[in-house]
Chains A and B, each alone.
Chain A
């Protein structure tokens, strides 16, 4: 695990992101994406900095951050595995796949393994519906998941 940056450092890095993007029309989502990319999550300390930069209340910024599934309050594991749980994948056995992954990793959805290696999340559609069941591992797309591919994925995130 890397050390958490001190809050003054978070504030200055956040201020730089806000400064860079604040002149966009509707800058808040691009700023939040930028922050999540920078820190791996959206730390509480950034809220007053963004609010100040965009002339919003801290509550408004908090409301936006918590509305969207993508923005994390805590850092994720080193890998993020998203399993599609939507209908097309259901028709090809995504329920059984999810049960197996949960068992192999010993965690449920929205949890991170104790060693911090992987966070498991459901996703509702990756647009890979003609090659179901599908998943995304750290931004890499995987189709037609089967036991063999699952074992490969689990070995990769555990290594």
Chain B
């Protein structure tokens, strides 16, 4: 058997030098006259081990990582093609603690094989959900998704099945499925990973959504910062079309469904669903007032399902294994699994899919292994730039939509950024306002002007000018933005600002006192 070597082509692995490693391995193979097949897989998400190279042996896969080009010669000398020992040896990838502790449902296949091999996809259970769906009545598919308890993984946490039911019940000759792949939140990369590592699962999920609601056309709106994801998705759609997964007869059924990949143009606010729809229509990405709901009047005024990548990519396993199977994971009203993205100043960063319910402390201390710098953790921002900063005192908060809300936080798209004790929370609060000012679509006043005034007021605080008065002003401004903004950009910017003020008041003391305290 020709040896098989797996080298990830995921952006994260490429950013850490996977391409140079691949070249070094190809050169070494040529030099030694060894015949082997190099497979470019996605990433399994353990980025602290990337580039992670795997070889297929008689005893299964053996992983090595993080591999540097300079390791390649000695890897061959150690007989790595047969799983030989080496300082980068990690053993079976399934037994690497970071991966072994996970519950992989949505990401079950991600990073294992060539993402563009439909055969590999099918060999690991792919298309079973869609096969089941084409044999079912639309209302029954919607019922199954509703019963699974799946909620929107983009951040809002709205029940996916209810959205679908509204679209199914709204009669129209044209309906759309729109996938929100405008993953702009810092600390999040789950959408990117699945699009680069297992694109067919998203295509399958969208096709199921189409059949369930009577929509025949889908769009994936991918941010322009993800060129690799755009390229992989485009190729995957073509392959799916060629093999009858998409087209006029999905898997040979009478259902038609096809889709297009569209690319954003660098506007964060287009991750908001109504502004994304405007952008797809070729307009400025300005937020729309709701109602009407997109489910009733969405893209081009037609009934539209708009779901996040992970919501749609979680549907195939629900249709394959059933609502009860999926619902069995999780806690409270947060059912199933969530891909937690561990980012920033951490020892072990990456994607960790687990059932809802782990505490923030378990994630930061046990899974992430604390900070990369080795300094104490000061703050953890959960949910991206619009999420709250939590101090260690709140590390007992379980990962659950409602539990985070109770503590004035949100899980958002489940990205967490860890900061060590050198972080200046006034600076972070200022950045939240500044980011809102840069990215505001300009439609509503609290967001457009409030964010700029917020930056100015925090600057006055930093300069020690009338601190009490300015702190009260920021608090009042946050209140106005929270309740007076049209969408989550202006409405949620107060979360990072107010949580910084509430949990880290020492960072907001007037400048002379701050200097003295240091």
Contacts and interface: CB of A to CB of B under 8 A. Distances in A.
A26 B423 CA distance: 44
A92 B372 contact: yes
B187 A88 contact: yes
Interface stretch (B132-140, B219-227, B238-246): B219-227
A41 interface: no
Interface string A131-159: 11010100111111000000000000000
B344 A87 contact: yes
A70 interface: yes
Interface residues on B, range: 35 or more
B415 to A, nearest CB: 7
B367 to A, nearest CB: 12
Contact of B15 (A32, A91, A142): A142
Given A89-B186, A91-B419, A91-B423, A128 B15 contact: yes
B282 A29 contact: yes
Contacts of B15: 128, 131, 134, 141-144
B420 interface: yes
B443 to A, nearest CB: 11
Nearest to A36: B265
A127 B268 contact: no
Nearest to A139: B227
A130 B285 contact: no
Contacts of B16: 131, 143-144
B47 A125 contact: no
A29 B224 CA distance: 11
Given A92-B344, A124-B385, A139-B227, 15 more contacts: A25-B300, A26-B282, A27-B282, A29-B263, A33-B224, A67-B284, A69-B265, A70-B266, A124-B184, A127-B11, A127-B12, A127-B183, A130-B346, A131-B15, A141-B12
13 contacts: A68-B264, A68-B265, A69-B265, A86-B385, A86-B435, A92-B344, A126-B225, A129-B415, A130-B47, A130-B48, A130-B342, A131-B47, A143-B16
Nearest first, the 8 A-B pairs at minimum CB distance are A28-B282, A130-B349, A143-B15, A86-B186, A129-B343, A68-B265, A69-B266, A91-B344
Interface of B: 11-12, 14-16, 47-48, 50, 183-189, 191-192, 217, 224-228, 260, 262-268, 279-286, 300, 341-346, 349-351, 372, 381, 384-385, 415, 417-420, 423, 428, 431, 435, 438-439, 441
